[in-house]
């Protein structure tokens, strides 16, 4: 797929202005609070996991932050809903590699779907934490990290 900067910008802008799954899940089976102390991004991710099937039934978030952080979290929730926990962990690994520039979505195999629109982050190393906070927080929720997640 080709790298369409303008389109990617528009999608991120749209998810920042109208974040998807932007609500609390009452009685969520898993949740975690994540912060980037240096820049103030602050989100909570909620999940309902079907433990028997190992599947993410519901996924949502709340919080505040920059456009990259909010759009990344919004797109993550939309993309992972219905996927298995194992898949989610695998995609987290790939996403992380992509934003660090270690995975090239145009040439390497991956399961990132439209999450590849964050590939531009590799040019802005100071913003990797904005894009990855959602994922660290998700993993924190799955691993039952009750103290929350901090990128520092």
Partner 1 sequence: MSDAKAIDAGNILDVEKIRKDFPILSQTVRGKPLIYLDNAATTHKPISVIERVHNFDAQEYGTVRRGAYKLSENATQLYEEARQKVADFMGAKSKGEIVFTSGTTQAINLVAHSFGKRFIHEGDEIIISNIEHHANTVPWQVVCEERGAKLKVIPVDDDGELIIEEYEKLLSSKTRMVAVNHVSNALGTINPVKLIAEKAHAVGAKVLIDGAQSSAHMKVDVQDIDCDFYTFSGHKMYAPSGVGGVYGKKELWEELPPYVTGGDMIVEVTLEKTTYAKPPARFEAGTPPITQVIGLGAAIDYLNDIGMDKISLYENALLEYGTRLFKDIKGVRIIGNAREKASLISFSINGEDPSDGHPHDVVSWLDRDGIACRGGHHCAQPTMIRYGVPATTRASMAFYNTTEELDALAESIRNGFPYGFVAL
Structure tokens at 64: 């505040």
Taking CB under 8 A as the criterion, the residue among 127, 138, 140, 149 binding partner 1 is: 127
**How far apart (Å, rounded) are the C-alpha atoms in residues 98 and 76?**
14
29's CB contacts (< 8 A; 6+ apart) are: 47, 48, 49, 51
Determine, following the binding rule CB under 8 A, whether residue 5 of this chain makes contact with partner 1.
yes
Determine, following the binding rule CB under 8 A, whether residue 152 of this chain makes contact with partner 1.
no
* x/- track of binding to partner 1 for residues 67-86 (CB under 8 A): xx-xx---------------
* Torsion sign (Cα): 21, 23, 27, 30: positive
Q: Please identify, using beta-carbon distances, which residue of 2 and 126 lies nearer to partner 1.
A: 126
CA-CA distances (angstroms) from residue 46 to 1, 2, 59, 101, 108? Answer: 31, 33, 6, 29, 31
Choose one: 38-46, 79-87, 89-97, 104-112; the region binding partner 1 (CB under 8 A). 38-46
Determine, following the binding rule CB under 8 A, whether residue 54 of this chain makes contact with partner 1.
no
On whether the CB atoms of residues 88 and 47 are closer than 8 A, the answer is: no
Closest CA to 42 of 19, 18, 13, 73: 73
Taking CB under 8 A as the criterion, the residue among 55, 78, 84, 120 binding partner 1 is: 120
Determine, following the binding rule CB under 8 A, whether residue 113 of this chain makes contact with partner 1.
no
Q: Which residues of the chain form contacts with partner 1 (CB under 8 A)?
A: 5, 8-9, 12-13, 16-17, 38-40, 64-68, 70-71, 117-118, 120-121, 123-124, 126-127, 130
């Amino acid at each position: 797929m080709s790298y369409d900067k303008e389109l990617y910008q528009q999608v991120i802008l749209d998810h920042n202005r109208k974040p998807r799954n932007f609500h609390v899940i009452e009685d969520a089976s898993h949740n975690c609070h994540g912060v980037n102390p240096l820049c103030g991004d602050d989100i909570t991710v909620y999940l309902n996991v079907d433990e028997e099937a190992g599947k993410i039934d519901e996924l949502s978030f709340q919080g505040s932050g920059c456009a990259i952080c909010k759009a990344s979290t919004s797109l993550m929730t939309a993309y992972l809903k219905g996927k298995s926990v194992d898949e989610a962990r695998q995609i987290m690994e790939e996403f992380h590699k992509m934003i660090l520039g270690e995975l090239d979505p145009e040439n390497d195999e991956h399961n990132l779907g439209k999450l590849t629109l964050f590939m531009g982050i590799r040019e802005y190393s100071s913003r990797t934490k904005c894009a990855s906070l959602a994922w660290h927080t998700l993993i924190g929720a799955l691993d039952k990290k009750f103290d929350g997640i901090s990128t520092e």
